[in-house]
Structure 1
Amino acid sequence: MVRSLHKLFVSNLPWTANVSFDRKTGISQRETTFTSRNQNQMSNKVEDKFNLAANYIQSHHNNFNKNDLLQFYAFYKQSTVGELDINQQPRPSFFKLQERAKYDAWSNLGSMDKEKAMESYIDLLTKLVPTWIESEQKENRNSAGTFGVSISRPKFEDKIDEEIKSIKDFIRDGNVEKLKTLLKDVNQSELNAIDENGLGLIHWASDIGNEEILSIILNTKGIDVNLKDGEGQTALFYASSCGHKNCVQLLLKHEADKSIVDNEESSCLDVAYDDEIRMILK
């Protein structure tokens, strides 16, 4: 079997056909695939409009809310990179809620092809700002701008990051309901993970001294009550040194180990805030 490339004319339009011939008979097997030059032109038009839309959003990202920006982000990544490879890029930990939100938005697009993602990006912008294209074309004319976007990190990612709180913010704010929701979607390794500051969730809660928040964390299946921070200190050290009496008692109730010493050989008793805390620890 041999393949031959033929240029055909259908309705006066040039098409390229891949035609299969049998070597012995010379007869076409009629398995012909046609690709129109107009199809390529249509793709180029979509890409040009997508680039124009991306430029507009770069300049006006402060006009959109967090959810819209997340959707733009997802369509943008799908358009420029393709499907998210979840095997090569694992889901970010819940310490990084901003990165996780972006990851989930992109992942939800599945195998959507790049052109469809571009069209969805454009459609969403048109729905939100029906006059965007006239505005952007006018700006381009005034600035002699050109099409084409080469953006490794769209500006609106910064706004997404600013608007999505971290789990530490929820602990600090005492946001019980949000914390409960997040802890439903966490595995044991994440629950006992250490963040970039060298602290785990249980350390943050003990440091702040919110008994209700600490109780929620301690009652989450898989929590390590004796998790050590970067300096070898447990949550009991934090509650003790900060003088959070109720948190010290709560940790002891959950069998926190008083005998642990940190990297400098100090114990939670050594760092106790006052005599009242020392009496509880003895």
Structure 2
Amino acid sequence: MKIQKSFSSSETGTLYVVPTPIGNLEDITYRALKILESVAVIAAEDTRNTKKLLLHFEISVPLISYHEHNKLSREEQLLARLANGESVAIVSDAGMPAISDPGYELVQAAIEVDYPVVVLPGANAALCALVGSGLATDEFLFYGFLPRKKKSRVEALERLRQAKATLLFYESPHRIRETLQTINEVLGNRKIAIARELTKRFEEYIRGEMEEICTWAADQEWRGELCIVVEGSQETELASDEKWWETFSLKGHVEHYMQTENISSKEAIRLAAKDRALPKRDVYQAYHIDKE
């Protein structure tokens, strides 16, 4: 067990996780500017983008790149600075570092060696989109970017299909049409909101039902990263005394899955065992003995 008292004196430096504006520079906080001015170095996802931000606010702290392709090699350098008593700020191009952006590994590494990690509050596209969607906010699940390949995308959505929580996704303009189509195929005609260009001049929310938005989206020219907010599952769970498979024998249970889902006996045995909370070997044995 480890307890961090964030503002107690420390012999090491502090790693500050600093959110930056997602579009509107006025969303930077006074505290974020103060921290960025005070640290020894700023680790940035793209130093060119961060340099523009620092120039705007007349901050001249040195920058070092920290992104998906060099994060492991940079980690050792940044931890060494912290060990020497230098504080480090990590920023992404926009929003909260480590949320669909680099940062998680560095935070984890600092915690492992007991260096203080202080996270500042600030702009986040997913939460803005959630609140502005008009969908339920009492329970939500942030997924980030869905897989690029359709098979993997379908598998990810299948795992989320029964979730009652409102679902949050990020997507690029190049994949938005096919992603919406896959969501519609797997999750069905739910309520949905798409938020684009958040906090910018052309901020826009598109709200409606999945089928109508899929049809409308096909002819649109999409720009800027998007947030997709999808209503959680409204399906009613079966009561414990209404299990659909109770009238089936073990053999019949397995064969039902094989026929309806077009899957192998091995996979059908696994599903039947899960339904009945039985060891797979028991279902396997019963199925093959009954076949003989």
TM-score using structure 1 length: 0.26
More strand by share: 2
Identify the structure with bigger relative contact order (alpha carbons < 8 Å, sequence gap 6+): 2
More helix by share: 1
Larger radius of gyration: 1
TM-score using structure 2 length: 0.26
